[in-house]
Amino acid sequence: MDEIRRYLDAARSIAALTGAGISAESGIPTFRGLGGLWHQHRPEDLATPQAFARDPLLVWQWYDWRRNLIARARPNPGHFALAEIERRYPFTLITQNVDGLHDLAGSRHLLKVHGDIWTLRCSSCGRERHDPRPNIPDLPPRCTCGALERPGVVWFGESLPADTWRRAEQAARHADLFLVIGTSAAVYPAAGLVDLAKSAGARVIEINIEKTAISPIVDISLRGPAAQILPEIAA
């Protein structure tokens, strides 16, 4: 741990990439866990524009169910530790999570590369609004223009929000310390940020309860739950 703290103190700029694993200890199933929980549908089959076009109500029932689950969750010590690190170091947090728990924990330099489950976007006029209700009455919701609204998240096959993605690449390229926390690193282009940081000279530290696709290329692998390891690092 002190070796890691030395890296933190010596770093001129630090970036972190988080995935569903950091919210696991807040009671939110990880993406792979989620698949088994919901009417036997696979997330990859529901989180797509095709699924929404084919059956907007089914896709909305899935998101409404997840919003309901997330509304009952609170940030855990892992989320709070990252907000603490941001207060003390030059730090940018890149998250693949759409649950909003990093915001609730106080993170500000936050890049949500896969969007936000609490945002609704009109599928026609593009109007966006924040809707914090855990249960949306009369699914699927409609915009004042009459068209269907969709969850403000990035689906498989959709490109990531351009400006957010550009800033995420920039943060990864300029980091001399890159933390990869609670992600299977299976989804691109987000997972590619690890290679980008490494090739730009960053020291890469992975925090995960299991081995992942990027474990072979990281400098240090801390095997354990983020809610336990991150507070130790931030202490």
For residues 126 to 165, the per-residue mask of contacts with ligand BV8, x marking binding by CB under 6 A and - elsewhere, is ---------------------------xxxxxxx------
For residues 131 to 160, the per-residue mask of contacts with Zn ion, x marking binding by CB under 5 A and - elsewhere, is ------------x-x-x-------------
CA 136 to chain centre: 23
- For position 187 contacting ligand BV8 by CB under 6 A, the verdict is yes
Per the listing, tokens 């995935």 go with: 19
Across the beta sheet with 110-112, the strand order is 110-112, 91-95, 14-18, 177-181, 203-208, 220-223
Using CB under 5 A, pick the residue from 85, 122, 168, 226 that binds Zn ion: 122
For residues 78 to 117, the per-residue mask of contacts with ligand BV8, x marking binding by CB under 6 A and - elsewhere, is ------------------x-x---------------x---
Partner interacting with residue 171 (select from Zn ion, ligand BV8, none; CB below 5-8 Å by kind) = none
Q: Which residues are catalytic?
A: 114
- For position 53 contacting Zn ion by CB under 5 A, the verdict is no
